[in-house]
Every structure is written in structure tokens, then in C-alpha cells.
């Protein structure tokens, strides 16, 4: 069994899947590279059509994607079993599988959280996806655009994307042991690469001078019940904040008060 070709660009509407014969070889030319399949690949596609008694291009599509997924899943499963001696078929999620692989590969012993207050404190810091109303239109105004208006504020359009977010997060140090609350702390002396990790609950103040420049994506999102709603959402706003401290002070937020803080020994696997 092997993966074969599919005419992605040929199928422009669902009705094409009702066609009762394999499209011509030229129809298997797909963007963006406009690569043509070889005659051998096309002959293999015809063999598949005949061997499985396919009646429509929709049947061909179903078989193609089933085979594609099954081949990939078998390869992934075999590689994982060979590498970690763990069977992905016995796990509900990839994070659970990755967690067990980490524990087995590193042989690390993580200390249990046995302080109920800290357990609740950490739970309060769990964040989900931000709830927001996105702006669907933005216009640049700077010296590089034709209709630049010098009398108006300069702005630029920038498209950004974060790559490997999960991989990056999984490579960061994790809490390991010696979980405890401490009496005092100088946040200016906390080093980024410190062997100790910290969680701080703080009061932050958002100065009005920052509201306009931060209006599209305010710092320090927090879990709250928005007006007119009954359940909590992760919301970014410019009101008085009580959230977790990160790099917010660098962007102008003012630290009013440290409420409580915990630290622990951390380690990167």
C-alpha cells in the first residue's frame, strides 16, 4: 500500500465528485508549484480505481483520504512505540502521550502539590483562549503608502504569526520541587533564567495614557464574567487589573501591590 495522487485543484465544487471516471492526467496538476504527476503515478491511480471498483470521484476521494490518514497514523504509532515503548492508541490526547514520554525519557521525579491553598492559587491562574471582537478593517497611514495624510497619526499594517507555540511551551522549564510561599520578594532581582520559578498575584494599574495605543490588544487578560453573560471568559481590558505579572511593567503598567507569591525549584527536561 502506498499514497497516491489526487486532483485537488480539479475539484472546484461538490458536483464534480459525482463524475463516474478518473479525470485525465492533466487534471492532477496542483498549485502552488503546478507540478505534473508522472505517468507511473497516473497508472497507479487507474489501478486503484479499478481494483476497488470505484464508481465516482467521490468514492476515489473517500478511499484516498482514508488511506492517507491510516498510513500516517500507522507510521506515527510505530515510530512512537519504537522510540518510547508507548502506544499512542491507548491515549486520549497528544498532551497526555507527550507527558508520559517526558516522564519516562527524563526519569524525573516531580514533587506533589500537597498544599491546598497553593493548589487553588495555581488553578486560578489557568487561562484559556481570549474572547474578543476583532477589527475587520485597518488602514495604513505612513510615508510608504500613496494616500499618506501627514495631518493624521502614522500607523503601519503588520501580519504576524507565532510558529511552534506548543513545541516552544513544552521545551520550557517545569515546576519540580520545593513548593512554598515566601514572605518577601524583589521582582527587579528575579532573573529570567533563574533555577527558581515564581507565580505572583498582583494588582496592576492601567494608566489612561496607554489606552489608545493598547486598545487593539490590551495586556494582562483576566478571567471575568462580561456584562450580559453568565459564564467566565478570558478578557483583555484596560480597567484596573488583578492578574499575573510578566513583562507588563515594561509596557507601562504600574505595579500597585503584590498580594501573594509562591516559588519552587524548576528544571527543563
Q: Over range 56-78, report the average pLDDT.
A: 92
pLDDT value at position 13? 94
Does this model's pTM top 0.85? My answer is: no
pLDDT value at position 241? 46
pLDDT single digits (tens) 154-194: 999 988 888 888 888 888 888 888 888 877 777 778 787 88
Q: How far is CA 223 from CA 125, 130, 227, 248, 255, in A?
A: 9, 9, 13, 17, 19
Confidence band of 126 (pLDDT split at 50, 70, 90): confident
Q: In the chain, pLDDT over 90 holds for what percent of residues? A: 33
CA-wise closest residue to 217 among 160, 148, 146, 144: 160
Q: How many CB atoms lie within 10 A of CB 49?
A: 18
Amino acid at each position: 500500500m502506498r499514497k497516491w495522487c489526487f486532483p485537488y485543484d480539479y475539484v472546484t465544487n461538490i458536483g464534480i465528485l459525482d463524475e463516474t471516471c478518473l479525470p485525465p492526467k492533466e487534471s492532477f496538476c496542483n498549485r502552488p508549484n503546478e507540478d505534473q504527476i508522472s505517468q507511473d503515478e497516473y497508472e497507479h491511480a487507474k489501478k486503484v480505481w479499478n481494483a476497488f471498483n470505484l464508481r465516482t470521484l467521490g468514492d476515489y476521494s473517500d478511499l484516498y483520504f482514508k488511506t492517507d490518514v491510516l498510513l500516517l497514523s500507522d507510521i506515527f504509532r510505530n515510530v512512537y512505540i519504537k522510540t518510547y515503548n508507548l502506544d499512542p492508541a491507548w491515549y486520549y490526547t497528544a498532551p497526555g502521550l507527550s507527558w508520559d514520554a517526558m516522564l519516562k525519557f527524563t526519569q524525573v521525579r516531580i514533587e506533589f502539590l500537597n498544599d491546598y491553598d497553593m493548589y487553588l492559587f495555581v488553578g486560578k491562574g489557568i487561562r484559556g483562549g481570549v474572547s474578543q471582537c476583532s477589527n475587520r478593517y485597518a488602514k495604513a497611514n505612513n510615508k510608504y503608502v500613496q494616500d499618506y495624510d501627514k495631518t493624521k497619526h502614522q500607523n503601519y499594517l503588520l501580519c504576524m504569526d507565532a510558529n511552534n507555540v506548543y513545541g516552544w511551551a513544552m521545551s520550557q522549564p517545569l515546576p519540580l520541587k520545593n513548593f512554598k510561599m515566601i514572605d518577601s520578594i524583589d521582582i527587579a532581582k528575579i532573573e529570567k533564567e533563574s533555577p527558581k520559578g515564581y507565580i505572583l498575584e498582583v494588582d496592576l494599574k492601567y494608566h489612561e495614557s496607554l489606552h489608545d495605543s493598547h486598545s487593539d490588544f490590551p495586556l494582562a487578560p483576566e478571567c471575568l464574567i462580561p456584562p450580559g453573560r453568565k459564564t467566565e471568559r478570558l478578557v483583555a481590558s484596560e480597567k484596573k487589573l488583578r492578574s499575573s505579572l510578566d513583562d507588563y511593567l515594561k509596557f507601562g503598567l504600574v505595579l500597585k501591590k503584590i498580594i501573594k507569591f509562591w516559588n519552587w525549584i524548576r528544571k527543563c527536561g
